[in-house]
A and B are shown apart, each in its own frame.
Chain A
């Protein structure tokens, strides 16, 4: 079962639990790591659909900034994974360009791209999800992580969340579990990720991404969490900082709406041009 996880889409959509999965965790810490990840996923199930507008600001090493704007809609799908529709609204050149993704459990995802300038829908077959998403520090992989079972887990330690500088004020007094997870797919750009999870509300506050040679590559941090539908915590600001290149991307969310009644129809390729 696929899900959107932890970051861009994850923050606004949610998680669906994979009941069928059998944990392969062996040791105590592996089991504990897996358990924590499962709780994060459970907390987010049942949201049906969500929408948000978001502003993506890309920062170069020298601090220069460039901006993109996009709308993201997600439809919960417990069988194959959540369907997503990303529509770019800014800059003007790409306004109206839309990307529809239907995850597939056994085959590669199906993707369609709508190009408004020629009013055509193109089906794209690509297994590459590890590259940079529209030049940002987020990769497609970061946004479209598939499945609880796509990683193996390990619990590391617990510490006060306020030790993470970016979250000190917001998470004063909270305790964080730190787990690491290792991608099963060898085409992943990462060797492992370390997650800081607030153990009260299962908010993912920070993720450290390690590249294939196990060096720290990027640090993700989330802040400004708000509660939606009395159940789903979402940050309104997330940052991905590349520690190797010095570049960063900041996403800020506006108008997060849950359960607005989106249907399969809205996520069909024929709806792309609307």
Chain B
């Protein structure tokens, strides 16, 4: 069967109609899965359910009361917080915050249980029990109490008295995490807005884990609702302008939207929830799919301009482009599937959703798209863009002429530039997951300057004995550990029952400050603590710091805002100290949300880079198989590996930090940029097969294919640049770096790749030449 009739059959036969029908049914069934698609709202989605770090955190949350919280910082615009207005604001807001859904505890300056003793009389009372108590004398009392109270300074008031904070601990049942998070954040926003109105002379800032979860959700939702419509408009306009045909643009859009919905639907069937990182999947998918459809349609368009009938134009476009399009779709799929090496589920979801989308696009590009193209009228008019790309020949001449300088100057220079990429530091910063347009980021950063916000590590130190925390040797170890921690430059403050135990001892000795020390016997400590436990107000049990059977306690080191690298270094140093100074019988565990983020961030960077490496190898092998030449497979590495490296080198010059989202860029980018190489090589080899000289073949390839390559690359660059407007900083950086990579790759494909083939691939690989010959003979 000749190639012509083969493609005619594929596009128009009855079987083809059946194929189209089956594809549409599959697509339709997948789309139904959209009903199960949701937006995730929990930072824990960044971890596998069986992730050991997450399990450690959940274990700690089970031993001690969970640390989900909302942290509200308040600053009077003028002066200190110790004035009637501010204190009564704190009192009222504290009262209100008890109404927050799922709140289990509210800690503030005014409801702090303050204790003092005169002889054998011990008084324990909230700093402001009744609002009527508030007068100048009480103000003074509160000020003095706060300034001398270790459990308040740095936690709920600053040493300079300019800032105060209220911490709300929440206990979510977890039946509908998203609804619970939203209920909490909305209530907080409502109360804060209300208080901002009543107290215009005060500023309010909100952070905390629940707020962060809410911010993840909001960022994802915002991206979803703004970027996708933007993308659709972009595709319509771009395709319309380039192809000079609204109908062509619409046909692309139809394939796109179907692929998109089918991919998301399939993800829904598989139980994947979109989250802040994976919400960029539709945008990436759009970009990738539109770039490859352009190859088919721009060829059709060019044929139409040349005066070929529409039917023949479509037919010859498929004939001409089918193989490279299939190959390039598959390499793209491989690149995105390589993201499955990620340790963090949202990045795997991202890769998989895009891979689904590209597969659906492949299906539809060979079934639905040709039908659409055949049934609509595409104008044969020149457009400005098509016009410009006819000048490609000029570039071909330049490249052919200067191929040696290109190879010997441009290539080494690029390699040198790429080597800069190794200077990038791996780094991940929780707050910087969001860009500065997100209120959460701005407020969290402000709060971090005065209190220790999100960064901390909780150490659970177990005596492995019921009531073992009261033993003097255990407490001495805690004291030693606490003292050492406070000497570390990263530590802002520590939090543990140790201070309480020492203070109770002082209280029991008539508030004599020389008794601010660990009690002499475990029995005394236990009896003191019993008193303390019996006098706590509602919600303020010690369960957040002491295990249920009093065998272990939790010491939290509150840290300065830091990067994942610094965090891990600190963690290692502390663990080493604990090993060195350990007392027999004690065991420790440690965790915190910010710590496990540092872990996943760091390990993800490496796992994604490994994935990229695997993608490179698989794609090279695939190309070797496609072109039936190992030599070509190796050659393709040059124009693909180097731009990725150079882009990271460029990143070093701009930013210098690689976070977990960026590491995925390499895997993702390789799948995309290799497409251009495939298209170029395929047409070049076709040229050689037709008996053209290498120079002629390069010129023809420039003429026929380069315009599509340039257009699709530009579309990709613009698409990924759109992503850089995401309020989720990871997505934005990913978009920026990927578009940079694509630009560099385009440069390589335009300049270096032709020079390479002219130098190293002047002949067809031997075996292929043979096959080709027999085929020609058969004809």
Contact = CB atoms under 8 A, between A and B. Distances in A.
Contacts of B530: 88, 94, 97, 134
B538 interface: yes
A131 B541 contact: yes
Contacts of B542: 135
Contacts of A64: 548-549
Contacts of B173: 244
A231 interface: no
B123 interface: yes
Contact of A122 (B102, B531, B548): B531
Given A61-B62, A115-B508, A135-B548, A93 B522 contact: yes
B534 A140 contact: yes
B526 interface: yes
Contacts of B126: 128
A124 interface: yes
B540 A93 contact: no
A117 B527 CA distance: 8
B120 A139 contact: no
A135 B467 CA distance: 12
B420 interface: no
B533 A135 contact: yes
Interface string B169-204: 001010000000000000000000000000000000
A189 B539 contact: yes
Interface string B126-141: 1001000000000000
Majority SS of interface residues in chain A? loop
Contacts of A215: 101-102
Nearest to B519: A117
A100 interface: no
Given A135-B542, A140-B534, A125 B124 contact: yes
B123 A125 contact: yes
Nearest to B470: A93
Interface in A14-73: 58, 60-62, 64, 66
A58, A120, A212, A215: residue with the most chain B Cβ atoms closer than 10 Å: A212
Contact of A189 (B470, B508, B538): B538
Nearest to B121: A123
Contacts of B98: 212-213
Given A91-B466, A131-B541, A126 B523 contact: no
Given A115-B508, A127-B125, A132-B541, A94 B120 contact: no
A133 interface: yes
B113 interface: yes
A113 B120 CA distance: 10
B536 A132 contact: yes
A62 B62 contact: yes
Nearest to B535: A126
A11 to B, nearest CB: 19
B524 A66 contact: no
A174 to B, nearest CB: 32
A123 to B, nearest CB: 5
A245 interface: yes
Nearest to A141: B538
A117 B508 CA distance: 12
A93 B527 contact: yes
B123 A126 contact: yes
Contacts of B62: 60-62
B79 interface: no
A93 B541 CA distance: 20
Contacts of A140: 534
Contact of B538 (A92, A125, A131, A245): A131
Contacts of B113: 128
Contact of B508 (A62, A122, A187): A122
A127 B535 CA distance: 8
A262 interface: no
A156 interface: no
Interface in A192-224: 212-213, 215
A213 B524 contact: no
B171 A244 contact: yes
Interface string B413-445: 000000000000000000000000000000000
B467, B470, B521, B534: residue with the most chain A Cβ atoms closer than 10 Å: B534
Contact of B549 (A66, A99, A120, A121): A66
Interface in A130-166: 130-135, 139-141
Contact of B527 (A61, A116, A141, A212): A116
Interface in B67-126: 98-104, 113, 120-126
A213 B470 CA distance: 35
Contacts of B467: 91, 93
A107 interface: no
A118 interface: yes
Interface in B513-568: 521-524, 526-528, 530-531, 533-543, 548-550
Nearest to B546: A135
A118 B538 contact: no
A115, A121, A128, A139: residue with the most chain B Cβ atoms closer than 10 Å: A128
B124 A213 contact: no
Contact of B535 (A60, A61, A93, A128): A128
Given A58-B548, A126-B124, A212-B99, A134 B526 contact: no
A39 to B, nearest CB: 29
B524 A115 contact: yes
Contacts of A92: 523
Interface in A235-252: 244-245, 247
Given A125-B124, A213-B100, A213-B101, A131 B524 contact: no
Nearest to B520: A117
Nearest to A88: B530
Nearest to A97: B527
Contacts of A141: 538
Contacts of B527: 93-94, 97, 115-117
A219 to B, nearest CB: 15
A204 B129 CA distance: 33
Contacts of A61: 62
A123 B120 contact: yes
Contacts of B466: 66, 91
B302 to A, nearest CB: 67
B677 to A, nearest CB: 56
Nearest to A112: B120
A130 B548 contact: no
A88 B530 CA distance: 10
Contacts of A121: 120
Interface in A175-191: 187-189
B122 A130 contact: no
A123 B113 CA distance: 17
A140 B129 CA distance: 18
B705 to A, nearest CB: 64
A135 B547 CA distance: 10
B105 to A, nearest CB: 11
Nearest to A130: B538
Contacts of A66: 466, 548-550
A134 B125 contact: no
Contact of B543 (A97, A113, A135): A135
B463 to A, nearest CB: 13
B171, B527, B531: residue with the most chain A Cβ atoms closer than 10 Å: B527
A93 B526 contact: yes
A118 B120 CA distance: 12
Contacts of B122: 122-125
10 contacts: A113-B531, A122-B508, A123-B121, A124-B122, A125-B121, A126-B535, A128-B537, A130-B538, A187-B538, A215-B102
What 9 pairs across the A-B complex have the smallest Cβ distances? A189-B538, A130-B538, A131-B536, A93-B526, A66-B549, A128-B537, A126-B535, A132-B541, A126-B124
Interface of B: 62, 65, 98-104, 113, 120-126, 129, 171, 173, 466-467, 470, 508, 521-524, 526-528, 530-531, 533-543, 548-550
Given A66-B466, A128-B536, 6 more contacts: A94-B526, A126-B535, A135-B533, A135-B541, A212-B98, A213-B98
